[in-house]
Each structure stands twice: as structure tokens, then as C-alpha cells.
Amino acid sequence: MKNKPNMKPGIKAHPNLLTLVGDTPLIKLNRIVEGFPGNFFAKWEAYNPGHSNKDRIALHIIEEAEHKGLLKENTTIIETTSGNTGFSLAMVSMIKGYNCILAVSSKSSEDKINMLRSMGATVYVCPANVKADDPRSYYQVAKRIHNETKDSIYINQYFNELNTEAHYNSTGPEIWEQTNGEITHLVACSGTGGTISGCARYLKEQNPNIRIIGVDAYGSVLKKYHETHELDTKEIYPYRIEGLGKNLIPTATDFDVIDEFIKVTDEESAHTARETTRKEGIFVGYTSGAAVQAIKQLNEVGEFTKDSNVVAIFPDHGSRYMSKIYNDQWMKDQGFFDTDNAQQPNKVEYI
Ligand code: PMP
């Protein structure tokens, strides 16, 4: 480790950012769930130092590799992601003194690529419209760099059991404790499935009656796979929400501990994210909006009673979506202001 804790007694400082990972707050939702029976809470993962739930897995996977003696100073950490996992891996690598290489798709916004570079990662931008087995795809580029780089590890979050374990060890127990064991429902967007599966495993061990509800996107295979155990490629088409749903079946997802998947649309999730921010004052990311949208849909079908204690995972911060759901032009370009019930943007007045 580069920065060894070296703190004088009495000094109340963290040795570095990494001791701030986890222990995120649980926040009661009020106006966005007005009139719904039960109590609703957000597990606010943007409180992690890298502003998302992915700090937990980045730290856990890297520290497990350290315990196994796999990492040396200047080892290279490799992953295929432009999203939150990339940023968290870059942050943990930077603090611990490892190199970080991220292979990302050319679909990634310039902002995202710049964020990763700012945190010290080397970024390879790979063409988006090639098959996964094409040597130029970001999967193949990451694998090649891993094979060619002495002292490197490949994180492989979709197929890494340590991803799920990170949430089994931390997020799940935190939620159990913060709800005093009274949680009745967990609502979580599923991407790799690490968050929902790790939390669900822990929570079901405490109380098997807790309902675990995964949130999936239209255009993703997860819900259908959960119901039929078959990967139906006809379910796959492009969608806009980043971070939930998938076009393959990740082994990091434990489908047996998830009771139900519910699908949400890009449009309703975007509006619900904006509405959540405006009603709760929590500046939420796109998938937090998707989780609240799922709660709205579940409420409509009578899922909750006055005794329900529902926890929704809010994975990241709204500031990551300034050029998307919080940008009115982007919303217009998607056609998200076309429908009658769509919330119109606030006015801007230039003086
Ligand atoms: N929301 C966002 C914004 C994410 O980046 C992710 C991770 N892909 C998720 C939700 C889903 O988390 P998980 O991968 O643990 O299922």
C-alpha cells in the first residue's frame, strides 16, 4: 500500500478515502411515496467516497486479491466498464498504488471517459458496434491486455463471486441493522446482480419472508430468464438506462434469492428520477429513479400494506447524469416530453 495509515493519537482524520467506503445512510422517503401504505427508505449509496455502490466491490475485490498475495506495487487492475465500477476501481487503485486500465465502449460519453482519466486510469476506447468476440471489442481488448500484462488482474464483475460477496458482507448487514430487522421488501436494480443477490442472501438468512424485488429494463433478458430459465435473445433491444438489465446472464446474479423481477421503462424512470430529486431533495441517479418507478408500479398492484418497510437501493448520484436525464434537451430528443402526463421542465429565465 502506498499510503500507510500513520496517524498521531488524537487526530480525527481518515488515513485515506477508503475507510469511508460503506456504512451509507438509510433515508426515509416522504413526498414521493405520499399516500402509499407502509414506510419507504432509500439506501443512499452516493454517500460512498466514489459516489456509488461500486466502491464496495472495487475495494473488496482488490483487498481479497491482496490477501491472496496476488498484488504487488504497480500491479495493473483491468476491467471493461465506463460506468461506476470503472471510477471506483480507478479510485481504489490510485489510493493503493496500482495501475488501472479500463476498456470502454465508444458509446461512452466524453465526460465519462474524462472522469476515469482524471482518476488516473488509462482508458482504451473500443468500437461499440462489433460483436463481443471481435478482437476490437472491449471484452477482447481487456482480455488481451490482461494476457499481455505481467502482474495484472481482471476484475470481470459480471462473473466474479466476490462482487456478490461484497454486498453480502456489507450492504445486506447494514440494511438489516438500519431497519432494526423490520425490513419487509428490498427493491434493487439488477445489472451484474451483485447488489441485489448479496443483500438478498444475507437478508433471507435473517428472515426468509423478506420479499426481494429486482428491477429490470425493457430490452434486457433478466426478468424472462428468472421466470423461464432460458435466455431469450428476442428480449434484447437497445435501451437508455445505464447500469440495469443485461443481454447475457451474469453468474454474479443469484436468481434463486430473488422473488420477482419488475420491468420499468426508460421514460418513466427518467421522470421518476427527476421527480424524486424535486420531492425529496436527494439528487438521484437514473437507476434510483428506476427503483422508485418500480415501487410506484408495485404500489398500484397492492404489494404493500401499512406494515411494509420497503428499502430501495439508490446506487449513485444525479451529477453523473447532467448530460442525460437532467438535461432538458436530451429528454426532448428522446421524446420524453411528448406524452401528456410528462412532467415539464422548470423554466430558466435569462436576465
Ligand atoms: N445502478 C447503477 C447506476 C449501476 O452502475 C449499477 C451497476 N451496473 C447498478 C445500478 C446495478 O448494480 P449491480 O451491478 O450490483 O446489479
Pairing mode, strands 122-126 and 260-264: unpaired
Q: Which residues pair with 325 in a beta bridge?
A: none
What pLDDT does residue 110 have? 83
Mean pLDDT of the region 298-310: 98
- CA pair distance 107, 129, nearest whole angstrom: 9
Q: State the distance from the centre of ligand 1 to the C-alpha of 88, rounded, in angstroms.
A: 12
- Evaluate: CB of 315 within 6 angstroms of ligand 1: yes
Atom 12 (ligand 1) nearest CA:
191
pLDDT digits (tens, 9 = 90+) for 186-245: 999 999 999 999 999 999 999 999 999 999 999 999 999 999 999 998 998 888 898 899
> If you take atom 3 of ligand 1, which residue's CA is the nearest one?
243
Pocket test for ligand 1, best of 43, 48, 53, 85 (most atoms within 8 A of CB): 53
Confidence (pLDDT) at 8: 82
Q: Is the CB of 83 under 6 A from ligand 1?
A: yes
Query: Coil, strand or helix: which one is 76?
Result: strand
Q: What is the mean pLDDT of residues 53-77?
A: 96
Across the range 89-97, mean pLDDT stands at 97
Distance 60 CA to ligand 1 centre (A): 16
**φ, ψ for residue 334, nearest 5 deg:** -80, -10
Mean pLDDT, residues 306-316: 98
**Ligand 1 pocket check for 198: Cβ under 6 Å:** no
Question: Using a 6 Å cutoff on CB, does residue 265 contact ligand 1?
Answer: no
In angstroms, the CA 239 to CA 92 distance is 30
Instruction: Write out the catalytic residue numbers.
Output: 54
- Does 195 sit in the ligand 1 pocket, CB within 6 Å? yes
Cβ(245) to ligand 1 under 6 A? Answer: no
Name the nearest CA neighbour of 18 among 79, 91, 99, 111.
91
Count, residues in the chain: 351
How many angstroms separate the CA atoms of 56 and 156, rounded?
15
Is the pLDDT at 329 greater than 80, yes or no?
yes
For residue 286, give the ligand 1 atom closest to its CA. Answer: 3
Range scoring the smallest mean pLDDT among 48-62, 197-211, 262-276, 330-344? 330-344
Within 8 A by CB and 6+ apart from 309, the residues are 38, 39, 41, 179, 182, 183, 184, 185
Other beta carbons within 10 Å of 24: 24
The closest alpha carbon to 223, from 234, 212, 235, 211, belongs to 235
Report how far ligand 1's centroid is from the alpha carbon of 82 (Å).
12
pLDDT at 177: 98
350 versus 187: the higher-pLDDT residue is: 187
Question: What is the spatial distance between Cα 290 and Cα 265, in angstroms, rounded to a whole number?
Answer: 8
In angstroms, what is the span from residue 74 Cα to ligand 1's centroid? Answer: 28
Q: Whose CA is nearest to atom 2 of ligand 1?
A: 243
- Split at pLDDT 50, 70, 90, the class of 108 is confident
Model pTM score: 0.94
The CA 189 to ligand 1 mean position distance, Å, reads 7
Of 84, 62, 43, 292, the residue nearest 174 (C-alpha): 43
Indicate which atom in ligand 1 lies nearest the CA of residue 192.
14
Residue to probe by mutation, ligand 1, list 82, 192, 251, 261, most atoms within 8 Å of CB: 192
